[in-house]
Structure 1
Amino acid sequence: MKLHAIIVNLFFLLGYTYSSSNFVDTNINYIDSVIKNIKHFNETSIPNVSSDSSIADTIGYKLEIDSAEVIIKKNLKLLNLSSPINYEYNPYVLESINRYLVKDKNLIPKMLSLSEHYFPIFEQQLDRFQLPLELKYLAIVESSLNPNSVSKSGASGLWQFIYSTGKEYGLNVTSYIDERKDPLKSTIAACEYFTYLFEIFDDWNLVLAAYNGGPGYVKRAMIKYDVDNYWDLRKHLRKETQGYVPTFFAISYLMNFHKEYNISKIDINLNFADNDTISFQRQVPFYLLKDRFCIDEEIIYYLNPSLKKGLALPNDPIFLPNDVIFDIVRNEKYFYEYLERVNKKEILVNEKRQIYVVVKGDCLSTIARNHNLKVKDIMDWNKLDTDRLAILDELILYIPINNE
C-alpha cells in the first residue's frame, strides 16, 4: 500500500510540473527522494511486484530527463538576462546541447583551453565596437578556434571569411600573407561585418543566420514568407542555416555552464600568455630564428598563422615568446650582422653549397626545377645577366638540406 501511495503522490507531482516550472525548481529534491523510496520498496519490501517496479523505473527515467531540461531552461534564462542576444529555449536548442554533451563531448574541453588565448582578443574588439561579447562563441562554431581552418568553399581563418568578403573588409591576401588567418585583423573585420548585418536586421538571431547564409539570402526568405523572426523563418532556410543558431546557443551554453557537467579544460602545452610582438627591419626566415634563438618553428607558425611562407616580413609585427624577444633585443646588432652574412651566403643555414656543371640540354628553368630552386636566385648567385648557358659552365647552387 505504501508503494501505491507513493506512486499516486508522484503522478500528482508529475502532472503539476507541466503547469508550473517554478514548482519543479523548488521541489526537485523532494521528487528525487520519492524516487529513492520507490527503489527502496522495490528492492526490499515488495520484490515480486514486477509491474510496480516497471512503473517506478519509468517514472524515475522521466524525472531524470525533466530535471536536466529544467536546469537547461534555468541556465538559458540566466544567459538571456545577461546578453542582448535572445537566448531562447526550444527543442532545437536542447538537441544541440545534448549533442555536445554526448556525440561531440571532446570539443568543449579543448575550446576552454584555446579560449584563454583568443577570447581576450575577441572581447577587446567586440567591446570597442559595442557589440555583444557573446559573439565570441561564433568563432567556435565557425572554426573551432583554428586560425588555419579552411572550408570546402575556401572560407578561411577563425571567422571563416571567403576571399571576396575578406578583401571587402580590408583583409590582405598575397603570396606571403593571408590576413583572414590573423586573429586580431580578422576579428576587427568580423566586428565591422556584424555591425553591418545588425544595421540590416536589427535582430541578433537573424544576424547569426545571415552570417552563415548571407544577408541577401536571409532577407529574400523573410520577404517571401512574410516573417521577421528567426524561429518562424527557420523551417524555410537551408539545413545548415537551420542548425546554425541552435549550435551557437549550445556552444554559448556549455562554455558558460561547463562546470555543471564536470567539463574542464585540457592541457594543450602552449603558454599563449607569455608572448608579445616584435618587428624586424628586414625579411627574416623562421628557420633563422630557430637556428639562433632555439625556438621551434611550429610555435612561430602557430603564433603567426597568417604568414604563409615561413617569413617574418619587414616592419610587420610578429608574435614570439617573451624570452625569445628578450634575446633578440639584447643581441639585435649581432643578429642583423648574422642575417647579412647569411644573405651573402657567407654563412649557410639549412643548405649546402654545390657546384653544378652544365650539360647538353640544360637550361636555367630545368636546373631550378630539378633542385627546387628559383631561376632568379641562381642568376643572382652567379651574377648572370642572361639565361643563356654553355656546356661545361659551372654554376653555384645553394641547395636546401631538406630538398635532398
Structure 2
Amino acid sequence: MNLLYPVLLSSVLWLAGCATVTPDAANTAEAETPAVHTPRYPNGALSPITRTQVTTPGVASLSAPADLWDRIRRGFAMPDLDHELVQDREQWYASRPDYILRMTERSSKYLFHIVEELERRGMPTELALLPYIESAFNPQAVSSAKAAGMWQFMPATGTYFDLKQNVFRDDRRDVLASTRAALDYLQKLHGMFGDWHLALAAYNWGEGSVGRAIARNRKAGLGITYAELNMPAETRMYVPKLQAVKNIVNTPEAFSAELPLIENHPYFQAVDIKRDIDVELAAKLADVTVSDFRALNPSLSRPVIFAAGIPQILLPWDNAKVFERNLDAYGKGQYSSWTVWTVPSTLTVADAAQRVGMSEEGLRAINNIPPRMVIKAGSALMVPRTASTLTDVSSQVADNGHVAFAPEIVTRRTTVKAQKRDTLASLAQRHRVSVANLADWNDLKVGASLKAGQSIVMFLPMRASSAVATARGPRAGAKVATSARSTKAQPQTSKKGGTPSKVRKR
C-alpha cells in the first residue's frame, strides 16, 4: 500500500506536464492564428429611429422594473406608426393633463393584471393601453352602439367569446372575463391579418370590414397597410390615438405629463365564495366601501352575488384576508337578503307584487320594470328571501336568468250590433280578437249563430274601440256603443320587436 502513493503521484505529475503549454508556445500559436474581424453593414437605405426606439432597451434588463410603467415600456413590441395624426393626438392629450391623470389613476386597479396576461401570452404590452382609447378604463362605459365595459364589447361579440349577459350580471364589464376575451380576440385578429395595426383596425371596425378594404386595395393595385386603407374616421384615428398614448407613457416628461405611481404589484386578489351573499355584506366583511367593491366587481347589476354564477369576487390585495377571516367568523346564518322567483304566467306588476309580498313600487325598483308593462311568463325576478326560500339560486337561473315585458293593454267594453250573415268568426276577424275570447265574453258557443241586430260585447284596446266608434260603412260594423267607464287591464304577448342597433365595432 505504501508503494502505491509514489506511483500515483508520479503519474499525476507526468499528465500535468503533458497538458502544460509553455509561454513561448502560446505566443507562437497566437502569432500563427490572428483574429479576423468582419465588419457588418446595414442593408438598404438608413432611416431615422423614433423616440420610442431610442429609449426602449434592445436587450433584457437584469434589474427589476422600477414600477408598472417601466415594465410596460420594456414590453413595447409593436412597430411605431409615423403619421401626422399621431402628432395631432399627442397635442390633444398633452393639452388635457387633468384628463390623463384621472384616466391613469382609474387604470391603476386593473393595469397589473392586464400586463401579466399580455406577458403570459407573449403579446406586446402596448395593448395594455388600449382601454385608455376604448373607455378611459371605465368598466361601466357604454357606447351609443351598446358596446360595454373597459374593452367595449358588443353584445353579440361578447356572447361569441363566452361573456355571459343576463339580468343579474354582464361579463363584458367583468375585469377578468373581459380581459381574457379581449386578448383572445386580438390574438385571433393578429392571426388573421399578420399585422398588429390591422388587427387593431379590425377590433374597432370589424374583421369583415378590414378584410373587404384590403381586398379592394389589392384589386386596385394599392398598398394594404393601415395607413393605406380607406376606412371610417373613427378607425382612421384609432391606432394614432394608441400610438400617442404609448409615446406619452414612454416619455411623459416630453409632454409635461404626470403619470401616477403604479407599483409593479397586484392590486387585487380573487377570493372564492360558496354562498349567495349581499353586495353590502361582502363589502362590509372586506372592510371596503361599496363603491370600491363595485369598481373591482363591475359586472354585478343587482344587490346580491349568486355564487353559482360568480364563484369568485375581486378584493384589494390587503383586504382579501380580512374578508376571509370575517366571513369565517360571521355567525348570523343568512348571507343573502334576496332570491329569484320565476314568474309562472304573464302577470301585471300589481299581481306579481302581491304574490311575493312586496309593494308594487318595490318590485319595480329592484327589477327595473318600466311603467305600463306586464311581466311575461318565465321572467326571473329578484324577490326578498324568506324562511321557505333558504336554498341558494341554481346555476341554471344564475347564468340564464332574464326578464321579458309586454305592453299593458287597457281595453274598453264595447257593444257591437251584428249584421245579417255575421258570425262570431267574422266579427272576431273584423275587430282583431280571438273567436274564443268573443264567445267567452258573450257566454256563447264558438259556432253559435247570430241574428241581425244582436248585441255582441267586446273588450277592445282603447285606440281600437275609438276607431270602431267613429268608423262608418259596412266594413266597420254597425251601430257601436261604448262604455268609457268600464276599462280592463289585460296582458298581451307580443313578438320581439326592433332591429339590431347599428354596430360601431365588434
TM-score range, shorter chain: 0.5 to 0.7
1:330 is aligned, of 303, 325, 328, to 325
Q: How many pairs align?
A: 292
Match in the other structure for 2:208? 216
Change (3 A) 1:223 1:328: closer
Amino-acid identity (%) = 26
Match in the other structure for 2:334? 340
Change (3 A) 1:274 1:338: farther
Change (3 A) 1:293 1:122: closer
1:320 is aligned, of 310, 315, 321, to 315
By how many angstroms is 1:148 displaced? 1.0
Distance in 2 of aligned mates of 1:209 and 1:79:
27
Change (3 A) 1:285 1:239: same
Q: Which amino acid aligns with 2:164?
A: N
Q: Which amino acid aligns with 1:160?
A: Q
In the TM superposition, 1:121-270 aligns within 5 A as: 121-226=113-218, 227-233=223-229, 236-265=230-259
Query: Would you say the 8 A contact 1:213–1:241 is kept in 2?
Result: yes
Match in the other structure for 1:311? 304
Change (3 A) 1:111 1:377: closer
Change (3 A) 1:285 1:326: same
Distance in 2 of aligned mates of 1:287 and 1:151:
28
Q: Which amino acid aligns with 1:120?
A: F
2:79 is aligned, of 83, 86, 89, to 86
Distance in 2 of aligned mates of 1:110 and 1:119:
14
Match in the other structure for 1:287? 280
By how many angstroms is 1:289 displaced? 3.4
User: What's the secondary structure of 2:187's corresponding residue?
Assistant: helix
Query: Would you say the 8 A contact 1:205–1:245 is kept in 2?
Result: yes
Distance in 2 of aligned mates of 1:149 and 1:230:
27
By how many angstroms is 1:324 displaced? 4.3
2:271 is aligned, of 272, 275, 278, to 278
Distance in 2 of aligned mates of 1:83 and 1:120:
15
By how many angstroms is 1:217 displaced? 0.5
Could you list the runs of 5+ residues in structure 2 that have no partner in the other structure? 1-45, 59-74, 339-349, 367-380, 390-506
Query: Would you say the 8 A contact 2:197–2:226 is kept in 1?
Result: yes
2:295 is aligned, of 302, 310, 317, to 302
Change (3 A) 1:79 1:86: farther
Q: Which amino acid aligns with 1:299?
A: D
Distance in 2 of aligned mates of 1:105 and 1:212:
26
Change (3 A) 1:218 1:290: closer
Query: Would you say the 8 A contact 1:110–1:266 is kept in 2?
Result: no
1:365 is aligned, of 353, 357, 363, to 353
Q: Which amino acid aligns with 1:248?
A: L
**Residues 344-401 of structure 1 deviation map (CA, whole Å, 9 limit, x = unaligned):** 9xxxxxxxxxxxxxxxxx8553673534038884795799xxxxxxxxxxxxxxxxxx
Structure (1/2) with the larger helix percentage: 1
TM-score using structure 2 length: 0.51
Query: Would you say the 8 A contact 1:108–1:254 is kept in 2?
Result: no
Distance in 2 of aligned mates of 1:341 and 1:176:
17
User: What's the secondary structure of 2:108's corresponding residue?
Assistant: helix
Query: Would you say the 8 A contact 1:159–1:190 is kept in 2?
Result: yes
In the TM superposition, 1:23-38 aligns within 5 A as: none
By how many angstroms is 1:170 displaced? 1.5
Match in the other structure for 1:401? none
Change (3 A) 1:98 1:381: same
Structure (1/2) with the larger strand percentage: 2
Query: Would you say the 8 A contact 1:301–1:310 is kept in 2?
Result: no
Distance in 2 of aligned mates of 1:143 and 1:279:
29
**Residues 35-58 of structure 1 deviation map (CA, whole Å, 9 limit, x = unaligned):** xxxxxxxxxxxxxxxxxxxxxxxx
Distance in 2 of aligned mates of 1:376 and 1:211:
36
Distance in 2 of aligned mates of 1:93 and 1:305:
32
Distance in 2 of aligned mates of 1:199 and 1:143:
25
User: What's the secondary structure of 1:210's corresponding residue?
Assistant: helix
Change (3 A) 1:369 1:108: same
Q: Which amino acid aligns with 1:295?
A: V
Distance in 1 of aligned mates of 2:382 and 2:180:
38
RMSD: 3.4
Query: Would you say the 8 A contact 1:143–1:158 is kept in 2?
Result: yes
By how many angstroms is 1:191 displaced? 1.3
Query: Would you say the 8 A contact 1:147–1:157 is kept in 2?
Result: yes
Q: Which amino acid aligns with 2:227?
A: W
286-295 vs 118-127, which moves further: 286-295
Distance in 2 of aligned mates of 1:379 and 1:189:
34
Change (3 A) 1:238 1:376: closer
Distance in 2 of aligned mates of 1:83 and 1:149:
27
Query: Would you say the 8 A contact 1:76–1:89 is kept in 2?
Result: no
User: What's the secondary structure of 1:106's corresponding residue?
Assistant: helix
Query: Would you say the 8 A contact 1:171–1:186 is kept in 2?
Result: yes
Distance in 1 of aligned mates of 2:192 and 2:53:
27
Query: Would you say the 8 A contact 2:131–2:151 is kept in 1?
Result: yes
By how many angstroms is 1:87 displaced? 0.6
Query: Would you say the 8 A contact 1:139–1:158 is kept in 2?
Result: yes
**Residues 244-271 of structure 1 deviation map (CA, whole Å, 9 limit, x = unaligned):** 1111111111121112333213599xxx
Distance in 2 of aligned mates of 1:242 and 1:378:
51
Distance in 1 of aligned mates of 2:335 and 2:232:
59
TM-score using structure 1 length: 0.63
By how many angstroms is 1:201 displaced? 0.9
Query: Would you say the 8 A contact 2:285–2:326 is kept in 1?
Result: no
Query: Would you say the 8 A contact 1:108–1:255 is kept in 2?
Result: no
